[in-house]
Structure 1
Amino acid sequence: MKLKLIIATIFLLSSLSQQANAQFGKLLNDAKKAVTGSNDSDQVGLGLKEALNVGVEEAVKSLSATNGYLDSPYKILIPEDAQKVIDKVKMIPGFENVEQKLVEKMNAAAELAAKEATPIFVDAIKKITFKDAVGILNGGNGAATQYLETNTRSSLSAAFLPIIRKSLDEVNARTYWKSVVSAYNGIPFVKKMNPELDQYVDDKALDGMFSLIEKKEDGIRNDVNQRTSPLLKDVFGKK
């Protein structure tokens, strides 16, 4: 009888020990999953931010170079409402090359402004939360850039505009444009016009900047050779 009791006790203790070990193992696995999930989330967030930082850095470097806008697909052309002015003024002696000169000056202003863009973009990128990161990663081509533009375009434009104005003045674009408009308004029987360059150049400069950042982002997403760091390879290699 005592022997049976001892055997039963040993079996019970063994069973409890196995259950405890199983519970401990489950808790350990759950903890590992939680840590891994947290690390994955952190990696995704950091990877997306690095991709945007790479895109911003390369876009700013490219567009802020001499003739960076002028010789690129993002070249800023004459605004539509100003083209009528240009077409008329071309016929006035001394203004034959007005269109070429104005295009060069607008693009030069955008190139000067682009040099000041990096801190603005970097600050905006820092504000992207980890909560958004997975959705952006799974959003496909351009998703990170589109998120950045949606959440920062208005503030970037407001910050960019005084830089554009200053840059336009540095290349004498606004003074030159005033002389063009004055010449146009001096033509008999034309409707007086005064198209503003500032906001137009601001908008087009940002359009070009975001387009180039998106191109860089898509390159990182789709071309393994453009994933220039272990973090980028890890995050975008899982896609």
Structure 2
Amino acid sequence: MKRSTFAILTSLVVVTACTTAQLNQTMSEVNKALKTEQPLTTGEVAEGLKEALINGISNGSDLASQLDGYFKNPKIKIPFPPDVKKVEDKLRQIGLGSEVDKFILTLNRGAEDAAKEAKPIFISAIKQMTIQDAWGILKGTDNAATEYLKRTTSAQLREKFQPVMASSLSKVNATKYYSDIVTRYNKIPFVEKVNPDLNDYATTKAMDGLFLLIADEEKKIRENPLARTTELLKRVFGSQQ
């Protein structure tokens, strides 16, 4: 029965933080188990994980940034802001459903446009990952690397991504359509006025969608040999009897 290198590595790493000596000892055991002619080093394992993440981010960002990458993907499609769902419901009731649909389309177009700019931000964060970070990920779940990125980059990503998202929403007229919708709603007699932050909502949902796609790609590389596109990935994640 085949076992992935990843599974072997995971079973050999102790739960507590690894010291340099522990890493070296573990790598010796791993290479003995794998019977490789060219033993893996701790640095190669870290680089393999970085490579896997960069591949996942590139694939995920490319999927998200293409036409209908968000809009026709039910897993990440951005809906009308839920905290003002009453706005959507009321406008549909009075025959303005087409205006709502147009806004939802442009909202997702904005996310697709902004996703193009997210890739270098993610990749920069990955390149700063240490060997210790990599070994921590080896002890984790199928989406451990994605969770690591969420934990370590979300604040910085939001700061950099938000103006990109604002620009993208403006470029595809989502901001204008949303303003028009809210203005129309607020003119309806006896309704409670609303004016939520569209950019913050769109940024959060766009980032959530990217992380979801990246997690999918990470899982593929861990489990599917065909998703390992370089020699280093094949060596780090390769199968062994």
TM-score band by shorter chain is: 0.7 to 0.9
Letter in 2 for 1:198: N
Q: Separation in 1 of the partners of 2:114 and 2:123?
A: 16
Letter in 2 for 1:43: E
What TM-score comes out, normalization by structure 2 length?
0.80
Letter in 1 for 2:78: I
Cross-structure match for 2:111? 110
Cross-structure match for 1:87? 89
Instruction: Judge conservation of contact 2:45–2:236 (CA < 8 Å) in 1.
Output: yes
State the 1:197 CA deviation: 1.1
Gaps of 5+ in 2: 1-23, 29-38
Provide, for residues 38-61 of structure 1, a one-character-per-residue CA deviation record: whole Å limited to 9, x for no partner.
Answer: 952111110000000000110111
State the 1:88 CA deviation: 1.3
Deviates more, 1:47-56 or 1:130-139: 130-139
Cross-structure match for 2:184? 183
Cross-structure match for 1:78? 80
State the 1:238 CA deviation: 6.6
Instruction: Judge conservation of contact 1:86–1:98 (CA < 8 Å) in 2.
Output: no
Gaps of 5+ in 1: 1-32
Cross-structure match for 1:43? 44
Letter in 1 for 2:163: P
Q: Separation in 2 of the partners of 1:194 and 1:202?
A: 17
Tell me how large the CA RMSD over aligned residues is: 2.0
Alignment of 1:129-140 (within 5 A): 129-140=130-141
Identity of aligned residues (%): 42
Larger Rg: 1
Provide, for residues 161-206 of structure 1, a one-character-per-residue CA deviation record: whole Å limited to 9, x for no partner.
Answer: 0011111111111111111111111111111111221111100111
Runs of 4+ in 1 over 6 A off after TM superposition: none
Cross-structure match for 1:163? 164
Cross-structure match for 1:151? 152
What TM-score comes out, normalization by structure 1 length?
0.81
Cross-structure match for 1:218? 219
Question: Greater relative contact order: 1 or 2 (C-alpha under 8 angstroms, separation 6 or more)?
Answer: 2
Cross-structure match for 2:68? 67
Equivalences, count = 206
Letter in 2 for 1:78: F
Instruction: Judge conservation of contact 2:100–2:181 (CA < 8 Å) in 1.
Output: no
Answering whether residue 171 of structure 2 is matched by residue 173 of structure 1, we say no
Cross-structure match for 1:6? none
Q: Separation in 2 of the partners of 1:53 and 1:179?
A: 40
State the 1:217 CA deviation: 0.5
Instruction: Judge conservation of contact 1:44–1:137 (CA < 8 Å) in 2.
Output: no
Q: Separation in 2 of the partners of 1:117 and 1:49?
A: 17
Letter in 1 for 2:211: F
Cross-structure match for 1:237? 238
Cross-structure match for 1:142? 143
Q: Separation in 2 of the partners of 1:162 and 1:170?
A: 12
State the 1:86 CA deviation: 1.4
Letter in 1 for 2:160: A
